[in-house]
Amino acid sequence: MTSKSKDWVAYYDSPHSIYVNALHSDVHYATIAGEIARYVPSPTAAVLDYGCGEALHADRIAAAAGRLMLVEAAPSVRGRLIARFKPNPKIIVVSPERAATMPERSFDLVVLHSVSQYLSGEEFDRVVALFRRLLKPSGLFVLGDVVPHEVPAISDAWALLRLAKANGFLLAALAGLVRTFFSDYWRLRSRIGLTRYSEAEIIARLAALGFTATRAPRNIGHIISRMTFLARPTAG
């Protein structure tokens, strides 16, 4: 990992306030799980969710699939995932190093959601090259929450407030935004930033890595200013 991705992994591996309360976290992960589950192609499909975070509702994805592998780099988060989903025989939790040893053509669906912004371009290419190896020829790679160049940070705040108003935690969200402004998250984002791409840049980058990609009609999750792409291995 580069120093950039190491810093972000360390942040998410520590106590943080990115979610304003438990309801926010629950709604966030429930929304993502429900939308990813719609991409599962069949009840027997093998699914890889790479950089899954806390994945509180990963069981919803597993219910739509045959098996689900959750990949998480942060050790403490990975430990919680293992404990949470130990009773579910469809779910296995592994490190990125373990995922890299999987046999080729192991998965029908690979998801990388809200991760690309924390990777350098070189790291992104390495991860996507791994997915190209792990996906079946008919498989689908879903790349979610890609941050465009022109979108300001304030758009994330407005997206949070819309989500909070719709789900009953608006006051907590307002207080949380104040905390975030003075938090390690904002200092880290200001110092090393997020990796951003245009639609054309992502499509071209994926093409160079062996995928044919199109932009989905809407992004996975609540931040509508970000982008999701649907990519399939290029034949040949």
Indicate the helix (H) or strand (E) that contains 186: helix 184-192
Angle 14-20-22 from CA coordinates, rounded to 5°:
85
Tokens found for residue 166: 């719709």
What is the tens place of the pLDDT at every residue in 33-92? 999 999 999 999 999 999 999 999 999 999 999 999 999 999 999 999 999 999 999 999
CA distance 158 to 15: 24
The predicted structure's pLDDT at residue 15: 74
Among 61, 60, 59, 66, which Cα is nearest to 44's? Answer: 66
In this structure, the chain runs to a length of 236
What is the tens place of the pLDDT at every residue in 115-157? 999 999 999 999 999 999 999 999 999 999 999 998 887 888 8
What is the tens place of the pLDDT at every residue in 195-233? 999 999 999 999 999 999 999 999 999 999 999 999 999
Q: Which domains does the chain have, with CATH numbers?
A: 3-233 (3.40.50.150)
CA distance 177 to 75: 27
Distances from the Cα of 149 to the Cα of 109, 123, 216, 226, 232, angstroms: 27, 19, 18, 10, 24
The predicted structure's pLDDT at residue 6: 84
What is the tens place of the pLDDT at every residue in 28-46? 999 999 999 999 999 999 9
The predicted structure's pLDDT at residue 47: 98
CA distance 214 to 208: 14
The predicted structure's pLDDT at residue 227: 98
Give the three-class secondary structure for 70.
strand
The predicted structure's pLDDT at residue 191: 77
